[in-house]
Structure formats: C-alpha cells, structure tokens
A and B are shown apart, each in its own frame.
Chain A
Amino acid sequence: MADAPDETDTAAWADMLNPPSCGADLVPLEAPAGAQGRPERRGDVDGWGRSERMRALARRLYQPVYDTWFRVEWEGLEHIPREGGALLVANHGGAIPSDAPVIMHGIESELGRPLYGLADNLFRSVPVIGTLWSRTGGVPANPDNAYRLLHDEQQLVLVFPEGTKGTGKHLRERYQLQRFGRGGFVEIAMRSGVPIVPLAIMGNDETMPIVWKSPRLAKAIGVPYVPVTANMFLFGPLLGLIVPLPAKIRIRVLPPVTFDVASNQEHYERALILEHAEAIRASIQHGVHDMLRQRKSVWRG
C-alpha cells in the first residue's frame, strides 16, 4: 500500500486532533455536512422515524374524516405555544382511539408545527403498523425519548396518561377519567423544563364504545382488552374494528401549567409530582364535564 491514501487520512486526523475549541460543538448537534459538504440527510425521515411527507399524506387522507365525520372543533388553541417544547396531556377514549390522530391532525394543521405522539412500546414490535405509526409521528413512550424530544429538541409531545385504562373503559364508564399513572408525565415535564398543556376532549368515548369485554380472553392472549364495541353491531365485526361512530369531537385547550422547580434535577419530590398530576387530571375532568353539560346531542354536539 502506498503512502498516498494515508496522507490525506493523516491530514484529517491531525485536523481533528486539534479542535479549535473544546466542547464548543455541543447541542444542538450540528454535524459537519459530510466529508465533501454533502447534505446531512437526503430522505425526510428524522431521527424519530417521522417523515413530514408521510404526515402530509396522512393529513390529506384524514382531512375528510376530521371535517365531516368528527366535525372537530377546538377552543383555546392560543394556549398551545407556537415555539418551544410543551407536553400536551389529554383524556383517552374509544376501543381503538381516534383522539390521537384527531389531535395530531388538528395541531399540525392549525399551528404548522410537528406533534409527536407517545404510545405504548408494543406498537414498535408490530410489522408494517409499527413502521407507519413511526413515520406518522408516533414515538415509543419512554422517559428518555420524551426528555430528548421536549428538552433537547423543544418539540410538542402528546401523551395520554391513562393509557389503555382510558381506551378500555366500558360505555357505562365514559368520561370518567382513569388514574393518571404514577405521574411520570409530570416528572418528565419538570425535568425538561417545559409546561404541560391539558386538553379536554369530548366525543372520543363515543367513537368506539365498548359494550362488552372479556378480561379472561385478553389475559390469555396478552393484550390489554378484547372488546365488543357498538360499532360491530352497526358495521359488522371486521369493519366495526376500523370505522368509528361519527360522534362530534370537541377539544378544549386549558391554560398551560408551569412548574416552580428547577429543570434537569436527579430527583423530584414524589408528593409534588402526584399533587400536580392529580390537579391536571381534575382540570381535564372538569373541562370534559363542562362540555358535556353544554352538549345537546352526541352526534351533532
């Protein structure tokens, strides 16, 4: 082997081994644009697997559902920050919930900024669906992921603290908010130093209401719930799993909650976390009740 190829390499090493200023190139991670000034990435899939092209396509396909099926209406959109990170927290409902796509569609169309939706890790392990979910803005609900999105990248992130407890509710229990986990979402927001924006949604619990479930069967096959939904009586067992009922969806954005604690702490007081989580849950519950009080019809709102 001749010396020629090594010479350029050595020059590169020598160059790298004497950095102009140590630690200056920290976050944001601005990469040198390739060796010969090439763009850093060519596709539009970002570090989270989200593709803006796929989102745009999804928005185009979802627009009729959003406009004519659910006839979504928002109140208080001005509470959602136009820039900087924020954690959007909402109530969850419907056996296969429509609230996540509705909120993501609405925020992205109205504010023109991306919204990442946190969901169960299990999504990632399902072929095709996991990939589509990731391309359209889904991210596994992992504290590290949430912190990086909120703190490092200052993005909008959506989370449903009730998880499958919210979507697995029986029709009888509609609009009764379930436990908000152990308040992990509050801790993440505190650590990231971002506000929480509570969203109260009405209509989602009637899009796919569960009329019967089999806990034993669910346990046997290892899924959160095996439901029989009202949709199945209307559309048949297969189509009923996909097509929601056209309940009117109304979303009220509540004033942002900020925390009077320092960000990036190792540890936050458990009592304080639970107190905030409970207060946020109560405010969303109150918002939902308030909208229900004014609702004249499930379908027409």
Chain B
Amino acid sequence: MRVLITGIGSVWGSRVARALEDLGSTEAIIGVDTEEPKVELDTTEFVRADEELSIVPRIARATQVDTILALHLATDTLHVSKQALHDRNVIGTTNVVAAASNDMVRKLVVKGSTHLYGSSYDDPYWFYEQTARKHPPTDPLERSLIEADDIVRELGDENRRVQVTRLRFVDVLSGELESPFGRLLQLPIVPEVLGFDPRIQLVHEVDAVAAVLHATLNQIPGVFNVAGDGVLPWSEVCAIVGKRRAPLPPLMTGWAAAALRRLGAPLPDELLRVIRYGRAVDASAFRAAGYRFTHTTASTVDDFAEWVRLHAAVGDTEPEYTYDHDTESFLRRSPSVVRD
C-alpha cells in the first residue's frame, strides 16, 4: 500500500501516519500540508503545500499512491480565516478529488465533520448519515463542509474504480490534540448559554485515529458518523472536568460571544450553537462496518479530566517535537544511517 496523507501538519494527521508506520504494511507514506508533522516520523516523507493543496494531484501521480487519506479539512474557525476555510476545505478537497481520479488510486478516505448537520431547535436528537438539513447553512464553516462533502460524494458516485469512505467525526476532546472543546474546557470558567443544558457528544483521539485506520485497512465504502457512544449534558461535562460555568445571555448570544472573543475567549460560532442546542449522531453504521469504539463520550471526558489534572500539576509531560528539514532528510537519505 502506498499512501498519501493530506493534513499531516495536524496532530491527528501525524498520528495516523505514525500508526501506519507502526503497523508496517505500507510501502510508502507521503504527507502533504502547509505545516510540518507534529509527531516524529521515521519513513514518512513530508512535502509542503499551499493552503489549496494544489500540488497534490502532481504528487499523487509522481508517487503512484493507491490510497489517499484526506485529513486536511479545517473545522476550527478560531485559527482559520474565512478565506482559508474556503481554500482549504473546498479548493483543497477539489484538488484531492482530482488526485484521486488518476488511474493508480484505489481508495480515498476523507475526514469530515458532523458540523455539516448544523444544530437547530427543530433538528432531530440523533443525526443519521442520510438526515437532511432543515435549514440552509448559516456560516462559512458549514457551507464549506457541505460543499466539500458534495465534491467527494460526486467522486464516489461517478468513479467506481475509487472506493470512497467519508467519515464524519463529532468534536474530538483530548489533551494532546488541540480541539475547540478542549480549549473551552481549559478555561478557568467555562461558558454556557443561560437556561440551556444540551446533549453533548464527543469522540476520543484514539478513536479518531483508529477510525481512519479502520477505513484505510478495510473495504467500507460509504459515509459514516464517528462518535463516542452516549451523550452527556454540558453541565455534566463541565462537572467531570471540574469547572465552574458562567452563563452567556440566551438572547444576542452571538454578540456577547464576539465581545468575549475580542478579549481572547476561544468561543467560535460553531461551538456556540452546540452549547445551545447540542448535537448527537448515530454511529451504528460505522459499528456495523466492524469498528469497535474504545471510548464512549463519558470515558472521553474522563480521560480529558485526568489530563487536565496532570497538566495542572506538571505541565507538558511530553517534549514537543519540531520538524527539522535537514535532520529529517539526513535520517531518511544519508548512506551513513544504518537501516534494517
């Protein structure tokens, strides 16, 4: 198996590459992103790309990969501008799909997000993969996610040679992997919307990585929600992590949040929706496809709470890895390095 991974500059992407290296069944792994890998990798080759991933089709042809893992989708509007969101999610995905259309590629696995379902008072409590939206998307993130999803779906419909698996992840909560919910729950006081205590669903980082591997190593074309089992009220999530809550006004919440954002609070709009009405998805299709989750929503929060306590006591336990081009290419290519 020859694999190309887009979005290797995220911890998530790096971990997937690392896991593929460890499993040892891959001939070559090529990682593409605007940023360097966040985890030390042995054999994976890193190529820097622009925000639109325009070099991906060329690299896929040149390296003759048979599998593309598209993990580049941005879902964190705090770090990504409106323009970059469109470039990365829509144009980037178009380029990945173009790359997947060459003759060598047999499989495309795409990391998506359940943010594309939206979150509204009249939505069902559980979204299934085929649940249609009741309202048009309200912000650039949702719009870009829906567009990206459509682009990939069309490839799956048109091109029978490529097996397309679309994974839709709920929000990841983890200490090691920076996530919107993780940031929120590390605040000294955690915001809530006054009078609302919605159902929150999360997925563990281990499941996030393993789900991509499961789709890579098995033949499961289609679209799958990926989520920890069960839901927890927002108040309980905060209680498990040991945080007090401070209410945002139920009316004009967006304005209040925008003001807080200016003061540095990590409160993007898409999160605001979720802490008002909540969102949960049904992941039984992915279970039926043979995946067994290691964590539920509750155990994900438990693990995060442990990490927060450890972090409060000793700070970062793992030295941060920084990618250095010269060292990495020396280790991979120098004849002096002993390889077995």
Shortest Cβ gap from B170 to chain A (Å): 14
Would you list which residues of chain A between 1 and 55 have a CB under 8 Å from chain B?
Answer: 1, 5-6, 9-10, 12-14, 16-17, 19, 22-23, 25-27, 29, 31-36, 38-43, 45, 47-49
Q: 1/0 per position for A140-176, CB-CB distance to B under 8 A?
A: 1011110010000000000000000000000000000
A130 x B40 contact (CB < 8 A): no
B232 interface residue per 8 A CB criterion: yes
Report chain B residues within 8 Å CB of A47.
Answer: 125-126, 199, 230-231, 280
Q: Give the chain A neighbours of B195 by CB distance below 8 A.
A: 126-131
Q: What is the distance, in angstroms, from B235's C-beta to the closest C-beta of chain A?
A: 8
Please determine whether A48 and B196 come into contact, CB atoms closer than 8 angstroms.
no
Q: Which chain A positions have C-beta within 8 A of B280?
A: 47
The yes or no answer to B194 lying at the interface (CB within 8 A) is yes
State whether A145 and B124 are in contact (beta carbons under 8 Å apart), knowing that A12-B294, A32-B292, A47-B199 are contacts in the complex: yes
B147, CB-defined interface residue at 8 Å: no
Q: A139 on the interface (CB 8 Å rule)?
A: yes
What residues of chain B lie closer than 8 Å to A48, measured between beta carbons? Answer: 125
Asked if B87 CB lies within 8 Å of chain A CBs, one says: no
Contact A38 B298 (CB under 8 A): yes
Q: Which chain B positions have C-beta within 8 A of A31?
A: 229-230, 293, 296
Would you call A125 an interface residue if the criterion is a C-beta within 8 Å of the partner chain's C-beta atoms?
yes
Which of B46-54, B207-215, B257-265 participates in binding chain A? Answer: B207-215
Q: How many of chain A's residues touch chain B, expressed as a range?
A: 35 or more
Cα distance A215–B88 in the bound complex, in angstroms: 51
The residue on B at minimum CB distance from A121 is B122
B295 touches A19 (CB 8 A): no
Q: Contact between A41 and B294 (Cβ–Cβ < 8 Å)?
A: no
Contact B210 A40 (CB under 8 A): no
User: Is B181 in contact with chain A by the CB < 8 A criterion?
Assistant: no
Least Cβ distance of A133 to chain B in Å? 11
Q: Does A71 count as interface, using CB distance less than 8 angstroms?
A: no
- CB proximity to A under 8 Å, residues B248-290: 250, 277, 280, 284, 287-290
Any chain B CB within 8 A of the CB of A221? no
Given the complex, which residues of B lie within 8 Å of A289, measured CB to CB?
A: none
Let me know if A25 and B292 touch, CB within 8 A: yes
The reply to whether A43 and B318 form a contact with Cβ atoms under 8 Å apart is: no
**A16 near B294: Cβ-Cβ < 8 Å:** yes
With contacts A26-B288, A40-B298, A122-B121 known, is A1 near B318, CB below 8 A?
A: yes
User: What per-residue 1/0 map shows which CB atoms of A260-289 lie under 8 Å from chain B?
Assistant: 000000000000000000000000000000
Q: Is B129 on the interface with A (CB-CB < 8 A)?
A: no
Inter-subunit contact B294/A10 (CB<8 Å): no
Which chain B residue lies CB-closest to A21? B290
> What's the least CB distance linking B161 to chain A, in Å?
25
Chain A residues with Cβ under 8 A from B293's Cβ?
Answer: 31-32
Assembled-state Cα–Cα distance A167/B308 (Å): 50
B18 interfacial contact with A, CB 8 Å: yes
Interface membership of A124, Cβ < 8 A: yes
- Report whether B236 and A131 are in contact in the complex, using a CB–CB cutoff of 8 Å: no
Q: Within B282-335, which residues are at the interface with A (CB < 8 Å)?
A: 284, 287-296, 298-299, 302-303, 318-319, 321
Cα–Cα distance between A10 and B19 once the two chains are bound (Å): 7
**A-chain residues with CB within 8 Å of residue B295 when the two chains form the complex:** 34-35
**Inter-chain contacts of B131 with A (CB < 8 A):** 144
How many Å lie between the Cα of A38 and that of B301 in the bound state?
12
Once A19-B292, A34-B296, A43-B233 are accepted as A-B contacts, the answer to whether A13 and B125 lie under 8 Å apart by CB is: no
CA distance A22 to B23 in the complex (A): 21
- Does residue B100 face the partner (Cβ distance < 8 Å to A)? no
* Chain A residues within 8 Å of B18, by CB: 6
Distance A124 CA – B197 CA, assembled complex (angstroms): 10
Residues of chain A lying within 8 A (CB to CB) of residue B338? none
Q: Would B197 and A43 count as touching, CB distance under 8 A?
A: no
- When distances are taken between beta carbons in the complex, the residues of chain A under 8 Å from B303 are 35
- Complex CA distance for A22 and B128, rounded to whole angstroms: 20
Establish whether residues A35 and B250, one from each chain, have CB atoms under 8 Å apart when the complex forms.
Answer: no
Partner of A40, one of B40, B229, B292, B321: B229
Besides A41-B296, A143-B124, 19 other A-B contacts (C-beta < 8 A): A10-B23, A13-B209, A13-B210, A16-B214, A16-B294, A26-B288, A27-B284, A32-B292, A33-B296, A35-B294, A35-B299, A38-B298, A121-B121, A127-B250, A129-B195, A130-B195, A142-B124, A145-B126, A148-B125
B residues lining the A interface (CB < 8 Å): 15, 18-19, 22-23, 39-40, 121-126, 128, 131, 193-197, 199, 204, 206, 209-210, 213-214, 217-218, 229-233, 236, 240, 250, 277, 280, 284, 287-296, 298-299, 302-303, 318-319, 321
**Could you list 11 examples of A-B contacts with CB < 8 Å?**
A16-B210, A16-B214, A19-B291, A22-B289, A35-B299, A35-B303, A40-B299, A41-B298, A45-B236, A124-B277, A127-B193
